[in-house]
Amino acid sequence: MSNNAIIRLENITKFYGDFQALQETNTEIMRGEFFSLLGPSGCGKTTLLRTIAGFEHPSNGVVYIEDKPMTDVPANKRPTNMVFQSYAIFPHMSVEENVAYGLKARKLPKAQIAELVAEAIEMVGLKGFGKRASHALSGGQRQRVALARALVLKPKVLLLDEPLSALDKKMREQMQTELRRLQRAVGITFILVTHDQEEALTMSDRIAVMFDGEIAQIDTPQGLYKRPNSRRVAEFIGVMNFMSCEVIAHDTASLDVKVAGLGAVTVPKDQAPAGIVEGMKAAIRPEMLTILDTNEKSEFETAAKIDEVSYYGDMTYYEVRFGGHDENVTISMRNTAGRETLSTGDTARIGWGVESILLLP
Amino acid sequence: MFRGKLFGVFIAVFLVFLYAPTLLLPIFAFNDSSIVSFPLKGFTTEWFGVLRDTKPLHVAAKNSLFIALTSAFLATILGTLAARVASRYKFPGKQAAIGFIMVPMVLPEIIIGVSLLVVIIQMGMSLSLWSIILGHVLICTPFCIAILNGAFMNLDQSLEEASFDLGHSKLKTFWLITIPLVMPGLVSSMLISFTISLDEFIIAFFLAGTEPTLPVYIWGQLRFPAKLPSLMALGTILLVLSLFLLGLAEFFRRRGVKRTGQMNSGGFL
């Protein structure tokens, strides 16, 4: 293993009776990294998180934290702390008492506890709220208390189980930035479970996308968006257009394919899966297609008919129809000055480049 | 608003029917006559004096208090364990097990009394306060479970996990998180069991042996008309005591609700 890994999952599987919640999982999570487990509900991401925390015991395999096997280490002895989806703030205690709760288990002197608690409360921006009864707090404030309560223990790894899902949109966006800032400030490894791809993309250093109890791909946000390794991942992260394609010829450097609606293209090997896969599709992001203005030129051009227009203010989304492809293709255009918005029924020239086409299994 | 008026009259009649007999207790307790009937004769505290000097009464009262406190305590502990299992764990036969525990709630007490008597005699044990406690725990536990099950159901499981995650042991977690949060339920459970046990007659009568409880003692004294006014005084004391207990329990319940910021969902008052 690389020396920089703080958590190593070795052959982890989890069964609930006959149901396999986790397929064999082998992964390393690096020291100081913001790592996200992203997937639809029921994909096993929370099970994996709770396995790292010690609340679930893997049916097979070992969780290593800093090279020490955690098999016989219960949750209260692991160097991990968790922020729960419901925050789990103790309702019969004040903010201070909540934050001091874990320190009391360590039997530190009173003065030191008070000092650490005050520090943690200030760090999460709740200075002056220490004496507040915890049930008198808003959702965002509860979230901060939960963070302070976990971070005050200086865990090696902080586990966050869908921490933002209970907040409204504005609060969520604010907390995203703040979580990121906090993570950089304390330098602790964060593992975040979320079903919200935008949340994962904006906050994480690396993301593991999970489907059906299995990690489908681990990469940086950019890597995942630009080079998804399967159709499923491509669809889950952002919007992706798929077009059927046919391989005409291939050599070591590139493939000649015929893409429905776009015609014949030569695609470099690194934009295609290793080997020739039956039923591959050509994939292209909406922003990689351009509706050309009268004088604009592009490497490749295809004529299309506008089927539907959705205006979002800063952006316009078009559903267009290419000849030879029987599904609508989504194009997103930034509404820059001077660019006119087309309407349904118009014909347009669509510009694109080879580098924006991916072949996906 | 004829219907509204009629409904009001109905409620008034109902309340009079419910409480008038009870209100007679304090009236005759202070009436200066050994015959319990109107018209009233005058004010006296003589009957309370009689209570003070009746030694067997003190013994019966002490027995009853001891039985009620012990039964309430034991039934609440058993109820806590059962409610905890019912709300947290899944295992085959759980429904059936909980069902059988709840049955004594509807079983006629005379059946419980007789069968316990037979069992205790057959086992060669002698009747004592503990045999009554056994019977009372049996009938109180279902009520405790019913109350505590609600309390445990309302408890967010992640609170206990959070405590464990923050480094406390399971036992410490139960003590620091679980118990304080189900405290209103525990108080209600104790109070209900205490009340049920204190005025339970049939089981106490069958299993009393030589040591009567307060209800059994009162029943015995009813044969002597001259004792009636002092029983009225005794009833008055019990009435005031129950009202006080009820108020106390409600006070603690409301304080608990306020401290944890939960929704105020009913309660006694």
Contacts of B172 in chain A (CB under 8 A): 105
Claim to verify: residue A271 and residue A164 sit in the same structural domain = no
Region class of B209: left (phi > 0), else alpha (psi between -120 and 50), else beta: left
Q: Is the pLDDT of residue A12 over 50?
A: yes
Instruction: Provide the pLDDT for residue B267.
Output: 45
CATH of B57-260, one of 3.30.70.260, 1.10.3720.10, 3.40.50.150, 3.40.50.720: 1.10.3720.10
Instruction: Chain B: give the shortest CA distance to residue A213, in Å.
Output: 23
Residue B164, chain A, CB below 8 Å: the answer is yes
Chain B CB contacts of A85 under 8 Å are: 158
Q: How far apart are CA A33 and CA A29, in angstroms?
A: 7
DSSP codes, B121-179? HHTTPPP-HHHHHHHHHHHHHHHHHHHHHHHHHTS-HHHHHHHHHTT--HHHHIIIIIH
Min distance A162 CA to chain B CA atoms (Å)? 14
- Distance (Å) from the alpha carbon of A69 to chain B's nearest alpha carbon: 18
Instruction: Provide the pLDDT for residue B3.
Output: 67
Q: The domain spanning residue A200 has which CATH number? A: 3.40.50.300
φ and ψ at residue A131, rounded to 5 degrees: -85, -5
Is the domain of A171 the same as that of A275?
no
Please identify which residue in the block is written with the tokens 């307060």: B214
Number of domains in chain A: 2
Instruction: Identify the residue with better confidence: A251 or A9.
Output: A9
* Higher-confidence position of B150 and A79: A79
Over 90: is that where the pLDDT of A9 sits? yes
* Cα–Cα distance measured from residue A316 to residue A327, given in angstroms and rounded to the nearest whole number: 19
Q: Which residues of A touch B168 (CB under 8 A)?
A: 76, 101-102, 105
Number of H helices, E strands in chain A: 8, 20
Given A189, A204, A226, the domain boundary residue is A226
Strand pairing class (A347-352; A300-311): antiparallel
The conformation of residue A44, written as its DSSP 8-state character, comes to S
Residue numbers of the domain that contains A77: 5-226
Could you report the per-residue pLDDT of A48-59, keeping only the tens digit for each? 999 999 999 999
How many residues are present in chain B?
A: 269
d(CA A299, CA A285): 17
Q: What is the pLDDT of residue A57?
A: 93
- Specify whether A9 is located in the same domain as A151: yes
CA-CA distance, A11 to B21, in Å (whole number)? 75
User: What is the structure's pLDDT at A62?
Assistant: 93
Of all residues in chain B, the one with the smallest CA distance to A100 is B166
A55 contact residues in B (CB cutoff 8 A): 161, 165
A–B CB contacts, 8 A cutoff, strictly below:
68
Q: A196, A226, A256 — which closes off a domain?
A: A226
Contact B133, B71 (CB under 8 A): yes
Residue A2: pLDDT over 60: no
Which tokens belong to A295?
Answer: 């004088």
Q: Which residue of A has its CA nearest to B159?
A: A88
pLDDT at A276 (0 to 100): 72
Q: Could you give the C-alpha distances from B44 to A237, B30, B34, B48, in angstroms and in order?
A: 88, 5, 11, 9
Question: Within this chain, do residues A266 and A354 fall inside the same structural domain, yes or no?
Answer: yes
Chosen domain end from A201, A226, A251: A226
First to last CA, chain B: 29
Residues B80, A226: Cα–Cα separation, whole Å: 56
- Residue A77 placed within a domain: yes
Instruction: Give strand pairing partners of A290.
Output: A351
Residues of B in contact with A91 (CB under 8 A): 159, 181, 259-262
Query: Considering just the CA atoms, what is the radius of gyration of chain B in Å?
Result: 23
Assess: ipTM above 0.85. no
> Which residues of chain B, if any, have pLDDT below 50?
263-269
The two tokens of residue B234 are 């005794």
Res. A234: pLDDT tops 90: yes
Please give the pLDDT value at position B22.
Answer: 83
pTM: 0.80
pLDDT of residue B265: 47
Contact B181 A92 (CB under 8 A): yes
pLDDT digits (tens, 9 = 90+) for A91-137: 889 999 999 999 999 888 999 999 999 999 998 888 889 888 888 88
Q: Which residue of A has its CA nearest to B172?
A: A105
Assess if residue A44 is contained within a domain.
Answer: yes
Tokens 């694109």 sit at which residue? A352
- The stretches of A152-250 forming alpha helices (DSSP H) are 169-186, 197-203, 221-226, 231-236
pLDDT at site B101: 84
Q: What is the pLDDT of residue A353?
A: 87
Dihedral class, residue A191 (left if φ above 0, else alpha if ψ from -120 to 50, else beta): beta
Q: How far is A135 from chain B (nearest CA, A)?
A: 5
C-beta of residue B145 within 8 angstroms of C-beta of residue B185 = no
Cis peptide leading into residue A286 (ω within 30°): no
Q: Would the CB atoms of B162 and A84 count as touching at under 8 Å?
A: yes
Residues of A in contact with B156 (CB under 8 A): 86, 88
Q: What would the pLDDT profile of B95-110 be if each residue is shown by its tens digit?
A: 888 888 888 888 888 8
Domain match, A271 and A126 both: no
Gap between the Cα atoms of A223 and A233, Å rounded: 11
In a shared domain, residues A203 and A272:
no
Within this chain, do residues A243 and A331 fall inside the same structural domain, yes or no?
Answer: yes
Residue in B166, B172, B260 to test binding to A, most A beta-carbons within 10 Å: B166
Q: What is the DSSP letter of B31?
A: B
